[in-house]
Amino acid sequence: MLHKQFSYLAGTGRTATHWVKLLLDKACDGSKVAAFHDNFPKRAKTARRKTPAEFFTNYCLNLMLGQQGAQTYVECNPALLEHVALTYGIKDALSVIPGGLLSLPARGVLLARSPYAYAASLKARGWGWNWWNYPRAGAVYGLGNGYAKRPMVEQAAVAWRIKNEFYHSLTRLGVPVLRFELLFDRRVSKERFTERIEGLFDTLGVTPIQGSAFWWRLREQRVAGKAKGATLSAAEKATVKRIVGPAMEQFGYA
C-alpha cells in the first residue's frame, strides 16, 4: 500500500469541497483515483488510537483498503482535520498534515472563502456538521457557553475566524491555499479558472481524463444553481467585520 498516495482537500465548510469531489469523480479515471466526502464519522474510528498520527495513518489506510485498485486517494472533507484538532488538540493536528505520514506520501490543499460569503452561505443553508457541540470544542477553540444560541451571522463570523486561524496556520508547513472566489466568482474568466483547476489537479497528484471545457461546464452548473443565495445586510456585514477584525487583513480579505 505504501507506493500509493493520499491527498487531502481541507475547507472550513461552504468552500466547495463537495464540488471538488464531484469534479474528481467525473474528470478523472475512477479506477485510478478514489475521492471521498460524505460519511466521514462512519469511516473515522478514534478509539484505541493513542496519537493523531496513528489515527490519521489508520484512517488513510482504511480508505485504501476499501478501494485497493486505485492509485491516488483524495479526501475532500473539512471535518477530518477538525476531528483531529478537537480530539487531540490543534497543535497535534498540525503535526499530521501534510508532507508524509510515517511512510505514506501525502499532499494537502486548503480551500478558503471570504467571511461575508461564508456567513451568507450559512445564513441560507445552515450548518452541516455541528462541530461546536463536540465535547472538546469549547476547550480547543476557546468558545464560551451559549455559543450555539447566538444569531446565525454571529455564529458564522466566530466560526470563520477560529477555523481560518487554524487552517491558515498550516500554510507555514507549505500547504497551498485556493480561494473559493477565484473559482466561482462570476467575473472569473474561463482561462483563469482552467489555470487554477490545473494547479489543483497537479497539487493533489491526479491526472484528469476530461479537459477544460468539461471542467467549465461543471463549474457553470454550480454557479447557476447557487444564483439565488442569501446576502448580508449592512448591519450583518458590520457584525461580521467586528468579530473577524484583524483576521480579515491577516488572511487577505480586507
CATH architecture of 5-250: 3-Layer(aba) Sandwich (3.40)
Q: What percent of the chain has pLDDT over 70?
A: 74
| pLDDT exceeds cutoff 90 at 169 | no
| pLDDT exceeds cutoff 80 at 240 | yes
Mean residue pLDDT of the chain comes to: 80
Q: Please give the Cα distance from 251 to 231 (Å, whole number).
A: 22
Confidence tier at 102 by pLDDT (50, 70, 90) = very low
Q: Please give the Cα distance from 58 to 43 (Å, whole number).
A: 10
Q: What is the pLDDT of residue 92?
A: 61
Instruction: Give the residue, 231 or 1, on which the prediction is more confident.
Output: 231
Question: What nine digits make up the cell of 234?
Answer: 449592512
Max mean pLDDT among 117-121, 167-171, 206-210 falls in 206-210
pTM: 0.86
Distance linking the first and last C-alpha atoms of the chain: 45
Q: What is the pLDDT of residue 99?
A: 46
- Say which range, 4-8, 34-38, 83-87, has the weakest mean pLDDT: 83-87
Question: What is the residue whose three cell numbers read 461575508?
Answer: 116
